[in-house]
Amino acid sequence: MIINSHPDRKHANAADLAADYKSRGYTRFYAWDMFVRDRDLSPEMSAKEFYSLFDSVVASSMTTRRNIDFTPTHIDTNMGGMLCQVKDMVKWYDIVWACGMTGSNPHDNTFGDRFKEIQ
């Protein structure tokens, strides 16, 4: 199965993020808002510096595609019974759904209500 892989935006290079925002068609002002959000409200540069950086980069997506082995382990009852592969990462679960979507879920007492293990 081919899935999209997304970088850690909090620690990514600022120029790479600016190029990614540009590839998504964001205006420089909206890109600044996303940059602040991606940096957990603590950007390392001012808006003026970011606008200059944004204007200087060429649009380039940071999303990459990769091929993974997909072995369903659970059924997601919130997604109409869609098969998914769940991997326990100690503090959270990494999840890949049969449609190629990826995500995670924290270790909490609602996990078992939503995700039913395939017997």
Domain boundaries, the chain: 2-64, 69-117
pTM for this entry = 0.66
| pLDDT the model gives residue 65 | 87
Percent of the chain residues topping a pLDDT of 70: 100
Whole-angstrom distance, CA of residue 85 vs CA of residue 72: 4
Q: How far is CA 95 from CA 6, 82, 90, 98, in A?
A: 14, 12, 13, 10
Q: What are phi and psi of 40, to 5 degrees?
A: 55, 45
